[in-house]
Amino acid sequence: MSTVDKMLVKGIRSFSPENKHVITFFKPLTLIVGPNGAGKTTIIECLKLSCTGELPPNSRSGHSFIHDPKVAGETETKGQIKLRFKTAAGKDVVCIRSFQLTQKASKMEFKAIESVLQTINPHTGEKVCLSYRCADMDREIPALMGVSKAILDNFGILSPSYTKALEAIKKLHKEQAQEIKTYKLKLENLQTLKDAAYKLRENIAQDQEKSEFLKAQIKELERNIEGIENKILHAETTLKELRKLQDQISTRTTARSTLYKLQQTQYAALAEENEDTDEELKEWQMKFEERIALLETKISKLEREMNDEETKSSLLLQTINDTTREIGKLQAEADAHMSLRHERDSTIQRIFTKYNLGSLPDAPFSNDVALNLTNRTKTRLLDVEKELQDKKKSNEMELKFLWERYVMANARCSEVESQKQAKSETKLGISKRMKEKSNERDLADRELSNLNLSHIDERERSFVRTVPCFLQIEVERKTLLLGEKDYEATISQKRTEMFSLDQKIKALYREKDILASDSEDRVKLDMKKEEFESCKRKQKKLQNGRIQRKNQRSLKKEYDDLNSKTLEAEKEVKLVQMKIQDAKSHILKLQKDVDAKRRFLDSKLQALIQPPADIGSFTKVLLEAMEKKDVQKSKYNIADGMRQMFDPFERVARAHHICPCCERPFSPEEEDEFVKKQRVKSASSAEHMKLLAVESSNADTHFHQLDKLRMIYEEYVKLGKEAIPLAEKNLKELTEDLSQKSQAFDDLIGVLAHVKTEKDAVEVLLQPVETIDRLWQEMENLKPQIEDLEYKLDSRGQGVRSMEEIQLQLNSLQSKRESLSADVENLREEQKFLNADLSSIQMRWHALREEKLKASSILHKVKKADEDLVLLAEENAQVDLDEKHLAEALVPLIKEKEKLLQDHANLKLKLEREYDEQAESKRSFQQDIEMLMTLSSRIKEYLDSKKVEKLKDMQEKHTLFESQLQKCETKKQEISADLNKSKELLRNQDQLKRNIDDNLNYRKTKAEVDELTSEIESLEEKVLNIGSMSSLEADLKRHLQEKERLLSELNRCHGTLSVYQSNISKYKLDLKQAQYNDIDRRYFNHLIQLKTTEMANKDLDRYYSALDKALMRFHTMKMEEINMIIKELWQQTYRGQDIDYISIHSDSEGAGTRSYSYRVLMQTGDAELEMRGRCSAGQKVLASLIIRLALAETFCLNCGILALDEPTTNLDGPNAESLAAALLRIMEDRKGQENFQLIVITHDERFAQLIGQRQHAEKYYRVTKDEL
C-alpha cells in the first residue's frame, strides 16, 4: 500500500528559490488553507509532477512553472521538488526533480537538470540510486506505487484500462498473423532453394560422368599425335638437309658468276698484260713499295715542317692582335685615369666652396694633397653627423618634456573624470536607494491604511472598561492564580485528609462503645461552645461586610478626574520630549556634518600644505596658491620665449655663415664654436624649462585642489555660524517648555497621591472597629471556660463528648469525607475551566498584541523611511555639489590637456621639419663625399694596379712579335717548293706499281673461278642421291594435316573437359553458399514453426472472444456499483429538492467495439435528463466531486491518495456542509485502511473547520504568499 510522507518545494511558482518549504502529509487528512494566489494549487501540481513527470497545463513548457528570474532579480533561477513516499511494498523512496529557468537575450530557457530516484539499502544504510533518467522515473514511480499512470495523473480519479489485455491480445494476434505470412514466404523461399540444391547435385553427377569419357578419348588422341610427330620430324630433317645443299650450290654459283665478271673487268682494265711469272711480279712490287715509302716519308716530314711554321705564324699573329688590343685597353684606362683626377679636383673645389671648408692650393692636385683634402671633408662630415645626432636628442628631450606635461595633465583630467563618474554612480545608487525607501514608505503607508487603528484602540479601551486590568495583567493574574491554587497539591492534600478521616471514623466507632458522660457538664460545654461559635460568626460577618458612603463616592470621582488630567499631562510631556529628541538628533547630525567637513578639510590641507595649516587660514592659503601659480606661469613663459630664439640663430649661422646678431662673416671654426654654444644653451634651457613646467603644473594643480575645497569650506563656515546656533536656540525653547510641562505634571502627581491617601484613609475608618473589639473580648472570655470543662471531663476519664456528639462527629466526618471527594472532583473541573479560560485570554491578548505590534512596526518603518529619505536627500545634494565642483574643475583641465597636445604636435612638426632640413643637408654633403671617395678609390686602384709600366712592356713585346712573324713567312716559302718536287716524283712511281698489282689480281681471280666450278659439280651429285624435293614436301604436308586434325580433336576434348570441370566447381561452390547450408533441416523446422504458429493464432482468437465477453460483464457490474455509490452520496450531500439523484450512463459507439460515450443523467421523479446545459455551476461542481469520490471508492483501493482542490467552488453553504459531512463519512469508513490519505485545499475557513475535526486532523497548514 503506497503513501506519500513529505514533500519539499523550492523555487516553484510563488515559492522562493532561497527558502525550503516542507509539507508533511498526514493520515487520514491533510488540510491546506489559505487565500487565493497563496500557492495552494502549486503544492498539488508539484505532487503530480513528482509522480508522473507531467508539467501542469498552461505552464508554457515549464516557463511559468519555475520562479521567474526577473522577480528574483537574477538571470537564472533553480527549482526543486523532493518527494518521499512509501512503495506498495512499504519501502521508503525519495524522488528528486530539479529544474532551471534561464533568462536569455530574447527568450526564457527551461531545462530539467536533475532527476534522481533514491532508496536506502536496509543492510548498509547507504543511499542507492535507482534511476537518473526522466523516462525511467516516469515508468518506475507508478510501478513502485503499485498503480497505473492514469491514477497518478488524476490523484484518485481512476479510469482503468480493462481493454489493455484485449488490445494486447489483438496486437499479439496481428503480430502472429504477420509472422505466419513471414513464415510462409520464408518456407516458399526455402522450397525454391531446396529444389535448386537438388538440381545442382544432379548436374554435378552428369558432368563428372562426361568428364571421365573425355579423359579416355584424350589419351588415345595423344598417342596418335606422337606417331605423326615422329614422321614429320624425319621429313623435316631430310628437307632441311636438301635445302642446305641447294643453298650451297646457289651460293657458290653466284660467287662464281661474280668472280667471272670481276675477271673480265680486270682483264679489260690491264694496260699491258705481263708475261712474267708471279714471283717476279711480286719482287718488282716490293721494290716499288720501298721507294714509294721513302718518298712518302720525306713528303710527310716536309708537311709537318710546313704545318709547324704555319702554326707558329698563326700564334705570332694571334699574339700580335692580343697585344694590340691590350695596348688599346691600357691606353683607354690611362685616359680615364686623367679624367678621374680632373673630376676629383673639381669635386674637391666644389665641396670646399659649397660648405666653406677653407682655402685650396692650385689645381691640379697631387695624390697626397687630394688625400689630405678628402680627409678634411670626412672630418667635417663626422662633425655634421654628430651635430645631427645632438639635434635629434635635443628634439626628443623637448618632445618628451611636452609629452610628460600632457600625460600629467591627462592623468589629472582622468582622475577628475573618474571622480566625477564615481560621484555619478554614487548619485545613481542614492537615487535608487531613495526610490526603494520611498516605495518602502508607501508600502508601509498602505499597510498602515489597511489597519483600523481607531478600531484597535476602541477594542483595547472597551476591554479595559469591562475587565479591571489590561489583558496582559489579566493573563498574568490568571497564571498566578492557577499557580497559587496548586490544584495538584490541593488534590493530593485532600486525598490525605480523606485517608485521615477514614482513620478518625474508625476511632470514633471504637470510642462510641466505651463512652460514659456527665450530662450537666456536657450541656454547659455545649452552650459555651455554641456561644463561642455565635460570636465567631458575628465577627466574621462584620469583617466581610461593605459600607457604602456618600463621601466615598465623591472621593472616587475626584480621584478619576485627577487621574485623567495626569494622563493628558503625561502625553504632553512625552510629545515635548519627542520634539526635544528630534532637535537633539538634528543638532547631532549638523555637528557630525561639521566634524566630517572639518576632518575632510584638515586631511586635504595636511596632504596639500607642508607644514600643515589650520583650517582658519584656508582663505590665506588659497590666495598664496593663486599668486604662486601666476608667478610660475610667468617664469615659464619667459623661459619659453628665450628658448625659441636658439633654433633660428643656429639655422641663420648654418645657412649664411654669418653672426645672426651683428651679421659678421664666420670662419668654419667660429661657426662650429657658435653652433656648439647655442646647442649647449638650448639643452640647458630645455632642462630649465622642464623644471619650470613641472613647478608651474604643480602650482596649478595645487591651486585647483584648494579651489575645489573652497565650496566645502564655505558650507562648513555656514553650518558653524548659522545652522547650528539656530538649532540650539530651538532646542533651548523646547527645553524650557518641557520644564514647565514637567512641573505641571509633577504637581498633578502630588495632588493625585494626596487624594488617593485620603480615599484609603476614609475606607479604613469606615470599618466597625468597636464591635469587632467587643466580640473579640467575649471570645477570649469563653475560651478558658470551654477549656476548663473539657479538662474536667477528661480528668474523669469519661471524655468531653457525649454519645450524640460522637454520632454527630461521626456523621460530620462521613459527610466531610464525601464533601472532600466532591471537592476533589470540583477542583479538577475548576482546574480544567481555569486552563481553558487562561488559553482564551492568552489568545485574545496575543491577537491584540500582534495587531498593536504590527501597527507599531509599520509606524517605525514609516518613520525610519522618512529619516533615511532625509539623509539620502542630503547626501544626494552633497554628491550633486561635489559633481558640480568636479565638472567645473574638469573644464580648465581639458583645455590645458588639449593645449598641451596641440603644442606637442606643433613642436613635433617644427622639430621634424628642422631635423629633415639638416638631415637633407647632411645627406647632400655625404653624397658629395661619397662621390669624392669613389673617385679617389678608383684613382688609387689605377695607381695600385701599375698599368703605366704594363703599357710600356706591351708596346716593346708588340715590336718583337712582328719581327718574328716576318722570319716565319720566309721559311714557309722554302719548305713549300721542296714539298711540291717530292710529290711529283711520287706520282710517277705509283703508276708503275698499279700495273703490276692489276696483273697479280687478274691471275688470282681466275684461279678462284676454277675452284668454285669443281665444288658446284660435287654438290649437285649429293642432291641427286637424296631425292626429289616435291615428293618430300608432299609427304610432310600430308603428315602436318593429319597432326592438325588430331590436335583440333584433342583441343576440342580438352575444352569440353574444362567446361565440365568448371561447371562442377561452380555447382559445388554454389552448394557451399550459406543459403544451401542444412537446407533440408531448415525447411523442415520452418514448416513446423508455421504449423504451430497457425494453431497458436487460432487459440488466441478463442481467448480474445472469451476475455471480451468477461470484460463486458465486468464493465456493466462496475457501472452499476459506481451509480449506486453516486446515488447514495448525492442523496446524502445535495440539499436541493429538484434532483433526486444522478447517474452515469454509457452508450456503445458502434457494434463490435468497446468504445463508450458516457453521459451524466439527473433523475427527477420518473424523468431522466442530461445534466449538460440544465444545471447550475454549483450543481456541476458537486456532481463532479461526487463522481470523483465514487470512482475513488470503486477503483482506488490500492492507491489511497485523494486530492481535492477548492471543492467548495460555486457551492452554497448547505451543500458545502453536506460535502464536508460526506468526506467525514468517507474518512470514518476508510480509517482502517493504512494508505488512505485525503488532501484538501480550500480558502473556505468554514469548510475547513467542518472537516478539520480533531479526530481526523490535529493540525493543518495555513499558506500565505511565499510562506507555509
Q: What is the DSSP string of 304-344?
A: HHHHHHHHHHHHHHHHHHHHHHHHHHHHHHHHHHHHHHHHH
What is the Cα–Cα distance from 350 to 339, expressed in whole angstroms?
Answer: 16
Specify the pLDDT at position 157: 33
At CA 913, angle to CA 910 and CA 914, rounded to 5? 85
Nearest to 670 by CA among 662, 659, 681, 660: 659
Do 3-161 and 1104-1262 agree at the fold level?
yes
What is the Cα–Cα distance from 421 to 426, expressed in whole angstroms?
Answer: 8
Specify the pLDDT at position 8: 92
84: left (phi over 0), alpha (psi -120 to 50) or beta: beta
- What single DSSP character describes residue 85? E
599: left (phi over 0), alpha (psi -120 to 50) or beta: alpha
CB 995 within 8 A of CB 272: yes
Q: Which residues are annotated as a binding site?
A: 659, 662
Specify the pLDDT at position 516: 45
What is the Cα–Cα distance from 284 to 998, expressed in whole angstroms?
Answer: 13
Q: Which residues are annotated as a binding site for Zn(2+)?
A: 659, 662
Per DSSP, helices labelled H in 110-163 are 134-145, 149-154
First to last CA, the chain: 29
Is the preceding omega at residue 725 within 30 degrees of 0, hence cis? Answer: no
Q: Domain 3-161, CATH 3.40.50.720 — does that match?
A: no
339 phi/psi in degrees, rounded to 5: -65, -40
Those residues whose C-beta lies under 8 Å from the C-beta of residue 1243, and which sit 6 or more positions away, are 33, 34, 35, 36, 40, 1206
Nearest to 295 by CA among 979, 912, 861: 979
Specify the pLDDT at position 460: 46
Specify the pairing of strand 21-24 against strand 29-33: unpaired
- What single DSSP character describes residue 721? I
What is the Cα–Cα distance from 966 to 970, expressed in whole angstroms?
Answer: 7
**Alpha carbon distances (Å) from 169 to 30, 106, 531:** 42, 51, 109
Second-level CATH architecture of 1104-1262: 3-Layer(aba) Sandwich (3.40)
CB 682 within 8 A of CB 640: no
Burial of 954 (0-12, 13-18, 19+ CB in 10 A): buried
Nearest to 81 by CA among 26, 15, 143: 15
Reading the block at residue 725, the C-alpha cell is 546656533
970, HSE (Cβ side, Cα atoms, 13 Å): 5
CB 1168 within 8 A of CB 1161: yes
1242 three-state secondary structure = strand
Specify the pLDDT at position 596: 76
What is the Cα–Cα distance from 1195 to 161, expressed in whole angstroms?
Answer: 11
CB 932 within 8 A of CB 348: yes
Whole-prediction pTM value? 0.33
What is the Cα–Cα distance from 313 to 972, expressed in whole angstroms?
Answer: 9
Mean pLDDT taken over the chain:
76
What is the Cα–Cα distance from 251 to 1012, expressed in whole angstroms?
Answer: 10
Q: What is the DSSP string of 743-805?
A: HHHHHHHHHHHHHHHHHHHHHHHTS-HHHHHHHHHHHHHHHHHHHHHHHHHHHTTS-S--HHH
Specify the pLDDT at position 155: 44
Specify the pLDDT at position 1255: 63
- Residue 150 CA, distance from chain mean position: 39
Burial of 480 (0-12, 13-18, 19+ CB in 10 A): exposed
Q: Any idea where the domains of the chain sit in the sequence?
A: 3-161, 168-265+1028-1072, 564-639+699-765, 1104-1262
- Whether the CA torsion 438, 441, 447, 452 is positive or negative: it is negative
741 three-state secondary structure = helix
Helices 134-145 and 40-52 pack at an angle, to 10 degrees, of 100
Strand partners, 93: 85, 119
Nearest to 1268 by CA among 12, 39, 6, 11: 39
CB 633 within 8 A of CB 679: no
Residues of the chain with pLDDT under 50: 155-163, 459-470, 514, 516-517, 519, 545-550, 765-767, 769, 795-800, 1149-1152
